[in-house]
Amino acid sequence: MISRRMTCRGIAVMLAAVTVLPVGAAYAEPVPPASGPEAELVPGVPPGPYQPWQIDTPDQVLAPKVYTPTAKEDAVQPREAKEATYALVEYVPLGDAAAKVACSKRTGPYQRQVERWLKLKVDGKQSGADCLAIRGFQTKHKIQPSIGFAGPVTWAHMQLLSAKKNPNAAKKCPVRSYRVACVDLTRQLTWVQKGKKVIYGPVPMRSGRAGYGTRTGWKKVYWKHKNHWSTLYNTPMPYSQFFDGGQAFHAVYGSIYTTVGSWGCVNLRLADARKLWGVLKKGDRVYVWGRRAGT
């Protein structure tokens, strides 16, 4: 039996969706709800029209059939992503998105972390001063909507900025004389290092969701397939580099900042996946550690 409270919330969600989405916009592919503190949040900017070849996370769950692509196949370049595909869209409370507030009064799931990063008073509670400072950061870094809410995208971007100079400052990724692709599930960052020198990244990524986590430990790139096509979802996986069964680095034609993770693959923005394709070779080692929030 469905409670009255659940029914009312369902109606509120539908009404808010009508308010937020522009007339004539196509609905994006639905994704399952997130878990943890981000479960009640929604994209602060309405998604664009859904493309028939686009899916939230087109992962090849099962190991692919390995073969050697022909020169003709390899000559084909993956399609470019549409403009604003990878825009930084913050996840915000439903009420804030529907009302289009200028400055959020809500305490975000990453309030303390964001306060600490901005050198504000760290009390884990949203204030007017907090909102203005967070909004200033969001505006500077083109995070939308810039309403001062301490959400997952704002915190993820702060972590990326902090990691730029030395992503392996905590020495979590083993230093070796050969190339190692480092996959930090906790910070949702990946980079490649050779010795102590970082030769790629760090770049933001999206790893596996709860129940489909990206497996940790030492791995090896065993197959590279630039124009891989998921037989499971019938969708593209550009610049796929498989390192553990069906788990691979690959590009996605959609945001990598969704509150729900992938089906196990390491999802990247197209430009980042293309560059990584040129850095890693078959046989290169991959090291995965940490834990994605909500898993």
pLDDT of residue 32 exceeding 90, the answer is: no
Query: How many helical (H) and strand (E) elements, i.e. helices and strands, does the chain have?
Result: 7, 13
In a domain, 193, yes or no: yes
Q: Which residue has the tokens 């995965």?
A: 288
Task: Quote the tokens at residue 129.
Answer: 């001063």
**Domain that includes residue 276, residue range:** 71-79+171-289
Secondary structure class of 121 (helix, strand, coil): coil
Average pLDDT over the chain, rounded to whole? Answer: 86
Residues 6+ apart with CB under 8 A from 252: 57, 58, 206, 262, 267, 268, 269
Q: Which residue has the higher pLDDT, 38 or 56?
A: 38
CA atoms within 13 A on the CB side of 231: 5
Q: Please tell me the pTM assigned to this model.
A: 0.83
| 50 pLDDT higher than 70 | no
3-state DSSP assignment of residue 152 = helix
Q: Is residue 123 very low, low, confident or very high in pLDDT (cuts 50, 70, 90)?
A: very high
Q: Is residue 191 part of a domain?
A: yes
Residue 234 is assigned to a structural domain of this protein: yes
Q: How far is CA 131 from CA 37, 98, 102, 144, 232, in A?
A: 19, 18, 10, 14, 44
pLDDT digits (tens, 9 = 90+) for 220-238: 999 999 999 877 666 789 9
Identity at 83, one-letter amino acid code: E
Beta strands in the chain (DSSP E): 41-43, 88-89, 91-93, 143-144, 179-184, 189-194, 197-204, 217-220, 223-230, 235-244, 247-251, 266-268, 285-289
- pLDDT at residue 2 greater than cutoff 80: no
Residue 161, pLDDT above cutoff 90:
yes
Helix, strand or coil, per DSSP, at residue 15: helix
Q: Is the pLDDT reported for residue 30 higher than 90?
A: no
Domain count, the chain: 1
In a domain, 266, yes or no: yes
pLDDT tens-digit series, residues 185-212: 999 999 999 999 999 999 999 999 999 9
**Residue 241, beta-bridge partner list:** 224, 249
Q: Is residue 9 part of a domain?
A: no
**Residue 200 falls within a domain, yes or no?**
yes
- At residue 65 the predicted structure's pLDDT band, cuts being 50, 70 and 90, is confident
Place of tokens 């550690």: 289
Average of per-residue pLDDT across 77-89: 93
Q: Is the peptide bond before 202 cis (omega within 30 degrees of 0)?
A: yes
Greater model confidence, 254 or 279 = 279
- Higher pLDDT residue, 113 or 56? 113
State the amino acid at position 85 in one-letter form. T
- Residue 105 falls within a domain, yes or no? no
pLDDT of residue 217: 98
CATH of the domain at 264: 2.40.440.10
Angle at the Cα of 234 (from 231 to 238), degrees rounded to 5?
Answer: 85
